[in-house]
Amino acid sequence: MNTMEPKTVLAFEQLPRETTKAFAAFKTYLDLGPNRSLVSAAAKLGCTKRRLEWLSRKYDWPARVTAFNRHFAELERQAIERLACEKAVEWWQLHEPARRQAWLEAEEAITMVREARERWRKSGRTPGFEGMARMLDLAFKLKQFAAGMPSEIKEVHNLHAGKVSIEWEEAIRKAYAVAEPTAPAIVDVQEVKP
């Protein structure tokens, strides 16, 4: 026996008790977008605003519009999330081989420094520390890159200049028991005519 579950009707789709004409009126109203109004819909349909007010109350158009907006906002959020995941995977696939190669290069550079250091020890000569230091610096930067860490740390200084509101200034004075500034003396000014 084939038992089909009843289809779930979304609030903005035609309701089981709603006539085709009533649903067409709702669709016209809904399709007007964010600036929709019953007056605009009535003009488009060639009927009275009063008729649409009655349909709107009977079929709860405001709630259905809200359901429509929520539904498509959720679909949009899911699409954005899916796209972000796809881009993250794509980005990882592009960068992972470079990171692996950087790690291998770093390991090889460190090995070369160790071998050079051993050769210098055995030869009795003074090793060239500058070259080894540069090679090790490069190796560790490659490892930091491979691990996804920054290779440089930069300090950022932000200077903020702005006005302090009177309320904040008052609160600061109270908190730190700062005396009120003395009010400037009021001076009468007379116009001098030449």
144-162 per-position pLDDT tens digit: 777 777 766 666 666 655 5
Interval 58-82: pLDDT, tens: 999 999 999 999 998 898 899 888 8
**Predicted pLDDT of residue 162:** 58
In a domain, 116, yes or no: yes
In a domain, 34, yes or no: no
Tell whether the model's pLDDT for residue 46 goes beyond 80. yes
Domain count, the chain: 1
Residues 6+ apart with CB under 8 A from 44: 28, 32
In a domain, 81, yes or no: yes
In a domain, 58, yes or no: no
> Rounded to 10 degrees, what is the CA torsion of 26, 32, 36, 37?
-60
Q: Within 13 Å of residue 84, how many CA atoms lie on the same side as its CB?
A: 6
Mean pLDDT of the chain: 79
**Predicted pLDDT of residue 145:** 76
Decide which of 184 and 34 is more confident: 34
Range of the domain at 116: 69-146
Q: Taking the model in full, what pTM does it have?
A: 0.47
In a domain, 60, yes or no: no
In a domain, 82, yes or no: yes
In a domain, 73, yes or no: yes
